């Protein structure tokens, strides 16, 4: 790939944006007030703004391998805290996708070196739901179901955070679990009830103000 093409594309992008709105970048520079924090996978085929039809400034994004939210991952924790506490987003979306390489790798009994600690987060999801997953005979359907369960568990990890609990209680911020189907292009709401999840985990995870 000729990297100069990226800079050429950038120039064309600037031209397109300012053709009908000469002040486009001046206005963009004034600040951001996104409504949604999107936590997704780093997969190059899954671009958050494109699949959601969002414009610059409308979506705050964090991406990593298999959309994991780990309590000791300071990157993810900082992004979530900043989005929830300072930007005051109204929605937090954890979005996985079918055909996820990270989830598939976690299903395989292989030593993957430096990836092992990261993939253990997903293997822990498998362990927690092994009876359900092992009952699914079709490997592809089992793989897809782990993608969905991983979304749910990572979203629950979001709910466990103090700032998130505060925002849910005091201003009604919502948590969502979605999946993107690469085969069809459809965005699917898994319809998990995270308000109910919050109530169920409060005995252990409630963090007072």
Q: Which helix (H) or strand (E) holds 159?
A: helix 139-159
- Cβ-based neighbour number of residue 17 at 10 Å: 14
Residue 99: both structure tokens together: 């055909």
pLDDT category at 204 given cuts 50, 70, 90 is confident
Question: In this predicted model, what pLDDT tens digit does every residue of 106-135 receive, in sequence order?
Answer: 988 889 899 999 999 999 999 999 999 999
Question: In this predicted model, what pLDDT tens digit does every residue of 29-83 receive, in sequence order?
Answer: 999 999 999 999 999 988 899 999 998 899 999 999 999 999 999 999 999 999 9
CB 103 within 8 A of CB 96: yes
CB 5 within 8 A of CB 62: no
pLDDT at 209: 63
Burial of 201 (0-12, 13-18, 19+ CB in 10 A): middle
pLDDT at 193: 87
Question: In this predicted model, what pLDDT tens digit does every residue of 148-170 receive, in sequence order?
Answer: 999 999 999 999 999 999 999 99
Burial of 94 (0-12, 13-18, 19+ CB in 10 A): buried
pLDDT at 199 over 90: no
**Could you identify the residue written with the tokens 């969502």?**
176
Average pLDDT over residues 177-201: 90
The catalytic site residues sit at 41, 43, 45, 97, 100
Burial of 107 (0-12, 13-18, 19+ CB in 10 A): middle
Q: How many residues does the chain have?
A: 209
Question: In this predicted model, what pLDDT tens digit does every residue of 2-13 receive, in sequence order?
Answer: 999 999 999 999
Question: In this predicted model, what pLDDT tens digit does every residue of 88-104 receive, in sequence order?
Answer: 999 999 999 999 999 99
Taking the whole predicted model, whether its pTM rises above 0.95 is answered as: no
Of 199, 70, 65, the residue nearest 124 (C-alpha): 70
Of 141, 3, 2, 159, the residue nearest 69 (C-alpha): 159
Of 201, 156, 161, 188, the residue nearest 175 (C-alpha): 156
């Amino acid at each position: 790939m000729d990297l100069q093409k990226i800079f050429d594309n950038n120039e064309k992008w600037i031209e397109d944006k300012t053709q009908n709105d000469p002040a486009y970048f001046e206005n963009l520079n004034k600040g951001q007030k996104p409504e949604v924090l999107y936590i997704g996978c780093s997969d190059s085929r899954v671009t958050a703004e494109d699949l959601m039809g969002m414009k610059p400034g409308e979506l705050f994004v964090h991406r990593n391998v298999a959309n994991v939210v780990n309590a000791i991952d300071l990157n993810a924790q900082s992004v979530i805290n900043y989005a929830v506490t300072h930007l005051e987003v109204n929605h937090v979306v954890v979005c996985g996708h079918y055909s996820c390489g990270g989830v598939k790798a976690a299903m395989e009994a292989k030593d993957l070196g430096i990836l092992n600690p990261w993939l253990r987060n997903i293997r822990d999801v498998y362990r927690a739901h092994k009876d359900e997953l092992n009952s699914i005979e079709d490997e592809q359907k089992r793989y897809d179901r782990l993608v969905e369960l991983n979304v749910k568990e990572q979203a629950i990890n979001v709910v466990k955070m103090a700032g998130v609990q505060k925002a849910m209680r005091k201003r009604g911020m919502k948590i969502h679990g979605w999946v993107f189907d690469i085969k069809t292009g459809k965005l699917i709401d898994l319809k998990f009830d995270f308000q109910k999840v919050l109530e169920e985990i409060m005995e252990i995870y409630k963090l007072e103000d």
